[in-house]
Amino acid sequence: MPSSTPSSSQPGQTSSRYIYRGRVLNLRVDELDVEGGRSVRREVIEHPGAVTILAFDDQERLLLVRQYRHPVGRDLLELPAGTLDPGDDPESCALRELQEETGYHPGRLERLGGFYLAPGYCTEYQNVFLATGLSESRLPPDEDERIELVPLPLEETLRMVEAGEIEDAKTVAALLLYLRWREAAGSPSRAREGA
């Protein structure tokens, strides 16, 4: 979970005002006092947090999804992911999003870690889960989502990251967490075994 311990170099906040409150995101402007008596302005996007899921099917393929991302104006290939609803905990969100986006429910769900997605301007914290022992169980996707399921071998997924064909930051970071988890386990087949 994210730490909220301030560092010794944290500037003093003198004011904060919301300029937009949305369904999921809020935008606020903070005024900060920094060294030398200067005042600076920071725009901050408040985000409730999210999950990213690495799910392996019974053929040892990693389940990715292709979907249109309006801010970048094109389809991206990504790991299944989603935003926490009010009152949601990350594990419940991961279970729901996996079923909505892939049509599978895991026999086992393990948290691998997490990270801030873009801490320079956003509070979004991504929780990363590994899902194994999948069985078919579909929930309807959100009404605005058009998602194509793309199962790929892990090595092909990593090749696509290296070639710049997968450009989604949460997918790249989650893959790194998974590779380190697998290395620490001492067994490349740990995900396959559901251990």
Q: What is the pLDDT of residues 124-135, one digit of tens each?
A: 999 999 999 999
Write down the pLDDT at residue 13: 85
> β-pairing, 125-132 with 50-55?
parallel
pTM, whole model, 2 decimals? 0.86
What is the Cα–Cα distance from 84 to 88, expressed in whole angstroms? 6
Write down the pLDDT at residue 185: 86
pLDDT band at 113 (very low <50, low <70, confident <90, very high): very high
What is the Cα–Cα distance from 38 to 184, expressed in whole angstroms? 46
pLDDT above 70: residue 194? no
Write down the pLDDT at residue 81: 97
Give exposure, 49-66, as e/b (b: 16+ Cβ within 10 Å).
Answer: bbbbbbbbeeeebbbbbe
- Is the separation of the CB atoms in 79 and 152 below 8 Å? no
pLDDT band at 74 (very low <50, low <70, confident <90, very high): very high
* Residues annotated catalytic, as ranges: 143
